[in-house]
Amino acid sequence: MRWPMWLGEKMIKLQNKKLELLSGRLTDLRIEDSEESFVSSGGPEVAAGAAAIGLAAAGLAGAATNSLYAASGGTDSIQSFTGLLNDKRISGRFSKIWFKDGDHLECAVDGQSDGTYAAFAVRRPSDQTLWMFPHCSRGRKKHWQYARKMSVVLALLMTFGLLLCLTPMFGLAFWRNEDSHMGATIFSIMGVTMGVYFSLNTARRWAPFVSIAESIFTAFGYPDPAQVDMPEQDNAFWKKNTAAGVSDDSAPWVFRYLT
């Protein structure tokens, strides 16, 4: 099966572009597993990998995943689909797809020259599930707010890790030894600098996906797309819906929402 190739340069042009909203009953659904690279590699790989380990230990799993992806330059395992939405041909790519024929869907799409539509998000109101384009999850303000949190945590972790390097020479209570003060100062500055650099650099590399996310939120009618945080909404949904019978299907960049 050959899938429409609308990623590449098209994705760059989609930044801040207005997407259309299509809704209707899905039919003729076809799904295929594949792998694609959405983010090019770059930056010091060892340092980014170490940062991911530290972030995971601090409980920032999302930030750790981003750092590992930045370090590896690898591909995402995704599922591509095509289908008809009220007789209009749509196609898209998500991490995992479990909507099906007969579902009523709302789709944020970009019209193509051949009359088809590229879906950058699919929302199923029946169970409040939102599928988003890989690496899209937050609006601009929430993205940078998360990046600042990540930079503080990472700076602390990397500083702590570097200061541990002084213990073989000066002991665990190295701060009591005046001879260690110069090294502790240098390592502290290095830790803070590296933590802030790697976290903000990762956030900068994800900026194109933030622009696409805001276009998606605009299409769905959110009053302030820059303030939308889908991981936050997903957490709120599961806190409210803990009763048995609620489907617990999950995948990266697939969220449950309250509003």
User: How does pLDDT run across 84-107, given as a tens digit for each residue?
Assistant: 999 999 999 999 999 999 999 999
Confidence of residue 174 (pLDDT cuts 50, 70, 90): low
Mean pLDDT of 136-145: 92
pLDDT of residue 129: 96
pLDDT of residue 49: 38
DSSP 3-state of 254 = strand
For the chain, the structural domain boundaries read: 8-37+75-135+232-256, 42-74+138-205
Confidence of residue 175 (pLDDT cuts 50, 70, 90): low
- The segment with the largest mean pLDDT, out of 12-16, 113-117, 185-189, 248-252, is 113-117
CB atoms within 10 A of CB 126: 9
DSSP 3-state of 9 = helix
pLDDT of residue 124: 97
DSSP string, 148-216: HHHHHHHHHHHHHHHHHTTHHHH-TTGGG-GGGHHHHHHHHHHHHHHHHHHHHHHHHHTHHHHHHHHHH
Q: Which of 40, 207, 14, 202 is nearest to 92 (CA)?
A: 14
pLDDT in tens, 23-37: 999 999 999 998 777
Name the percent of the chain lying above pLDDT 70: 70
CB atoms within 10 A of CB 17: 13
Res 53 pLDDT > 70: no
Report the CATH fold assignment for 8-37+75-135+232-256. OB fold (Dihydrolipoamide Acetyltransferase, E2P) (2.40.50)
Mean pLDDT of 136-164: 85
Pairing mode, if any, of strands 117-124 and 88-94? parallel
Mean pLDDT of 138-159: 87
pLDDT of residue 191: 77
Residue-wise burial string across 166-196, b where 16 or more C-beta atoms lie within 10 A, e elsewhere:
beeebeeebeeeeebeebbeebbeebbebbb
Confidence of residue 56 (pLDDT cuts 50, 70, 90): very low
Name the percent of the chain lying above pLDDT 90: 41
pLDDT in tens, 193-236: 887 888 777 777 878 889 999 999 999 999 999 999 999 999 99
Confidence of residue 13 (pLDDT cuts 50, 70, 90): low
Mean pLDDT of 232-253: 82
**Considering only 20-24, 182-186, 213-217, 250-254, which range has the smallest mean pLDDT?**
182-186
Instruction: Please tell me which residue, 173 or 66, carries the higher pLDDT value.
Output: 173
